[in-house]
Amino acid sequence: MPMDQAIDSYFKTFSVPPEVVAFVSRPIGHFIDGRETAVAGAELDLVEPFTRRRLTGLVNGTAADADRAVRAARGALEGPWGRMPALERQRLILRLADTLEADAEFLAHLEAIDVGKSISDARAIDVPGAVANFRYFAGWSSKLDGRTAGAVALPGETLTYTVKEPVGVVAAIVPWNFPLQTLAWKLAAALACGCTVVCKPSELTPLSAMRLAQLASEVGFPDGVINVVNGLGHVIGQALAAHPGVDKLSFTGSTPVGKAVGKTALDTMKRLTLELGGKSPVIVTDRADLGRAAEAILAGIFLNSGQVCDAGSRVYVQDGVHDALVERLRAGAEALTLGPGLDPAARITPLISGAHRDRVLDHIASAHSEGAKLVTGEPGTGTRRDDGILRPTIFDECAETMRVFREEIFGPVLGISAFTTLDEAVARANSGDFGLAAAVYSGDVDETIRLSRRLRAGNVYINAHGLIDPAMPFGGLGASGFGKDMGPEQLDGFLSTKSIYVQVGTA
Ligand code: NAD
């Protein structure tokens, strides 16, 4: 099928390399057992977020496809991958990291085209973040030792020790906002631990997962170690969650879907990690450096047009600096460049879909009707643009009773509220169901440490927002889920510990 004219002219404007055009315009199938499957049967539309036109077709996978992928993963686990020495596994993961790095431009284009996100961000964050994660976890492959324990109550002479074994076949279900990076967060540690993986990308953003699987195969990963099954979440994701051949489910996505998937996974007693949504609070005290705070707060909410799980979406600012901070945030938001993802200058890009844009607009309308005060941005009605870009929007005088201050919006919308005492700020920041992240801005070191300890969140940023490092565990509390991605803490999620007892006979 010829490429849609609007997409063709968009790609030409930004000189998309021909090999990328070829990759994104062919029908997308699955990647199972070392090869991409031909697309047969019904196809889903893959829509480019800026033009809102059909880019290509995506296979509408079935439970049988998921089953084939799980069997391939099991075969690899019991075959070449399971027998591979740890150092060889480490070498392959490092090779994959190098290959992804060499492919950075290609991958950054895929993310910009698929998600509609800023290509500058994809170059600076998504791809290097994925590469760093593989590099970090590669080293763990050869350091997964058990321990020799001295038995403390057994009679006679014994030798007691533990060994760490891969948990088995992992299903990695990921969302659309950082498709490559969130997949790398699961894949790198799972591979390091010796597991095999069935990846389920979002049906909105399958491209980078397919590219990664292809590259992994080229660098020598045995068939079946990394599989990608495409299709609808409630079909493929559900099939993987229910599949008795899947040993561990690592899910990143929304809280309602995470809860449902988790319940299904427990029916077959899978190990489970749930990285879910957030409504992260930000506290700015009278002692903050306002220039620094405003810059980080703007990046913390408007990166990826607000489609970020740990976006700092509710700001609590102390009375003494309230007006000055609001003014800085207003000016900063109004200076952000709007444009399509492939434009390197664009900071605010289209939302993932028309349906999502309408959901965000509904939140904005509710903020207006519930009495929040618009500082800048979308007036609420009659503002739909065809390209799905929403202006960065800030409301002041928000309260926890308002949806804008309570619910995850996942768009470029920031709520602000003034506070008087730090106790009040902490109580209000800790209200609500989520517990993914929080941020504190203050020039007083003691104050920042004290506040960081009192905040109910899995990640706390001080005078910054959204810092991510492969050596640091990432994950939430409460409605934001449980378990960790990244850091040594993640390894336990992909390993089983076996205790071995040896009774030593008498001479
Ligand atoms: P989503 O829950 O709709 O979908 C996530 C994944 O689950 C997709 O692959 C989807 O196809 C699949 N899925 C959908 N329905 C399913 C079902 N019934 N059974 C099994 N799988 C199903 O989330 P989304 O809209 O893709 O992503 C946005 C959400 O992800 C936000 O809530 C955001 O906060 C969250 N997120 C969290 C983190 C984190 O690390 N905590 C990171 C990124 C995104």
Residue nearest to atom 26 of ligand 1 (CA): 175
* pLDDT > 80? residue 149: yes
Model confidence over 350-360: pLDDT tens digits?
Answer: 999 999 999 99
Secondary structure in 3-state letters for 393-422: EEEECCCCCCHHHCCCCCCCEEEEEEECCH
Which tokens is 205 given?
A: 């953003």
CA 302 – ligand 1 centroid, Å: 20
* pLDDT > 80? residue 1: no
Whether 253 lines ligand 1, by a CB cut-off of 6 Å, is: yes
CA 476 – ligand 1 centroid, Å: 15
CA 254 – ligand 1 centroid, Å: 4
58, 251, 309: which to mutate for ligand 1, most atoms within 8 A of CB?
309
Ligand 1 atom having least distance to the Cα of 257 = 2
Helix (H, G, I), strand (E, B) or coil at 216: helix
Ligand 1 atom having least distance to the Cα of 203 = 11
Whether 238 lines ligand 1, by a CB cut-off of 6 Å, is: yes
- Selected residue with higher pLDDT from 1 and 394: 394
Ligand 1 atom having least distance to the Cα of 200 = 9
Percent of the chain exceeding pLDDT 90 equals: 95
What per-residue confidence (pLDDT) applies to 475?
A: 98
Helix, strand, coil share (%) of the chain residues, nearest 5: 40, 20, 35
- Selected residue with higher pLDDT from 388 and 107: 107
pTM for this structure?
0.97
What per-residue confidence (pLDDT) applies to 386?
A: 67
* pLDDT > 90? residue 164: yes
Question: In whole angstroms, what is the distance from residue 63 CA to residue 453 CA?
Answer: 45
CA 257 – ligand 1 centroid, Å: 7
Model confidence over 427-473: pLDDT tens digits?
Answer: 999 999 999 999 999 999 999 999 999 999 999 999 999 999 999 99
Nearest to 485 by CA among 475, 496, 495: 475
Which tokens is 425 given?
A: 């700020």
Q: Kindly write down the DSSP assignment for every residue of 421-480, as one continuous string.
A: SHHHHHHHHT-SSEESEEEEE-S-HHHHHHHHHHS--SEEEESSS----TTS-B--EETT
Mean pLDDT of 487-498: 98
CA 237 – ligand 1 centroid, Å: 10
Which tokens is 393 given?
A: 């929007």
Sheet of 226-228: strand order equals 35-36, 31-32, 226-228, 196-200, 169-173, 248-252, 271-275, 481-482
Other CB atoms within a 10 A radius of the CB of residue 369 amount to 11
Element (H, E) at 321: helix 319-334
pLDDT band at 132 (very low <50, low <70, confident <90, very high): very high
Asked if the domains at 5-276+483-496 and 281-470 fall in one CATH topology, the answer is no
Mean pLDDT of 311-334: 98
Model confidence over 258-304: pLDDT tens digits?
Answer: 999 999 999 999 999 999 999 999 999 999 999 999 999 999 999 99
Mean pLDDT of 397-416: 97
On the 0-12 / 13-18 / 19+ scale of CB atoms within 10 A, 450 is middle
What per-residue confidence (pLDDT) applies to 92?
A: 98
Whether 188 lines ligand 1, by a CB cut-off of 6 Å, is: no
What per-residue confidence (pLDDT) applies to 384?
A: 59
Model confidence over 47-81: pLDDT tens digits?
Answer: 999 999 999 999 999 999 999 999 999 999 999 99
* pLDDT > 70? residue 42: no
177, 181, 198, 360: which to mutate for ligand 1, most atoms within 8 A of CB?
177
Model confidence over 342-394: pLDDT tens digits?
Answer: 999 999 999 999 999 999 999 999 999 999 999 999 987 655 566 789 999 99
pLDDT band at 507 (very low <50, low <70, confident <90, very high): confident
DSSP designation for 94: H
Around 7, how many Cα atoms within 13 Å sit in the side-chain half-sphere? Answer: 20
Strands (E), 174-284: 196-200, 226-228, 248-252, 271-275, 280-284
Which tokens is 423 given?
A: 């106790």
Contact 375, 396 (CB under 8 A): yes
Model confidence over 176-231: pLDDT tens digits?
Answer: 999 999 999 999 999 999 999 999 999 999 999 999 999 999 999 999 999 999 99
Separation of CA 89 from chain center: 25
Q: List the catalytic residue out of 275, 378, 408, 447.
A: 275
Q: Kindly write down the DSSP assignment for every residue of 25-78, as one continuous string.
A: HSPB--EETTEEPPP-S-EEEEEETTTTEEEEEEE---HHHHHHHHHHHHHHHH
Contact 315, 414 (CB under 8 A): yes
Identify whether 275 is a catalytic site residue: yes
Which tokens is 496 given?
A: 């089983």
Around 489, how many Cα atoms within 13 Å sit in the side-chain half-sphere? Answer: 14
- Packing angle of the helix pair 127-140, 86-102 (nearest 10 deg): 170
Contact 130, 181 (CB under 8 A): yes
CATH number of 281-470: 3.40.309.10
Q: What is the average pLDDT score of the chain?
A: 96
Whether 173 lines ligand 1, by a CB cut-off of 6 Å, is: yes
What per-residue confidence (pLDDT) applies to 496?
A: 97
Virtual CA dihedral for 141, 308, 421, 290, nearest 10 degrees? 100
Question: In whole angstroms, what is the distance from residue 79 CA to residue 33 CA?
Answer: 12
The dihedrals phi and psi of 338, each to the nearest 5 degrees, come to -95, 140
Burial string for 196-231 (b: 16+ CB within 10 Å, else e) reads bbbbbbbbbbbbbbbbbbbbbbebebbbbbbbbbbb
pLDDT band at 2 (very low <50, low <70, confident <90, very high): confident
pLDDT band at 316 (very low <50, low <70, confident <90, very high): very high
Provide the residue ranges of all domains of the chain, joining segments of one domain with +: 5-276+483-496, 281-470
Strands (E), 80-177: 148-149, 157-166, 169-173
Q: Which CATH architecture best describes the domain 5-276+483-496?
A: 3-Layer(aba) Sandwich (3.40)
Separation of CA 184 from chain center: 9
198, 200, 202: which to mutate for ligand 1, most atoms within 8 A of CB?
202
Contact 184, 129 (CB under 8 A): yes
Beta bridge partners of 35: 32
Around 315, how many Cα atoms within 13 Å sit in the side-chain half-sphere? Answer: 28
Whether 307 lines ligand 1, by a CB cut-off of 6 Å, is: no
The span from the first CA to the last CA of the chain, in angstroms, equals 79
Residue nearest to atom 35 of ligand 1 (CA): 253
What's the length of the chain?
Answer: 507
Whether 458 lines ligand 1, by a CB cut-off of 6 Å, is: no
Ligand 1 atom having least distance to the Cα of 201 = 9
CA 253 – ligand 1 centroid, Å: 2
CA 176 – ligand 1 centroid, Å: 7
Virtual CA dihedral for 291, 373, 282, 408, nearest 10 degrees? -130
Whether 257 lines ligand 1, by a CB cut-off of 6 Å, is: yes
Question: In whole angstroms, what is the distance from residue 385 CA to residue 323 CA?
Answer: 31
CA 252 – ligand 1 centroid, Å: 5
Residue nearest to atom 30 of ligand 1 (CA): 253
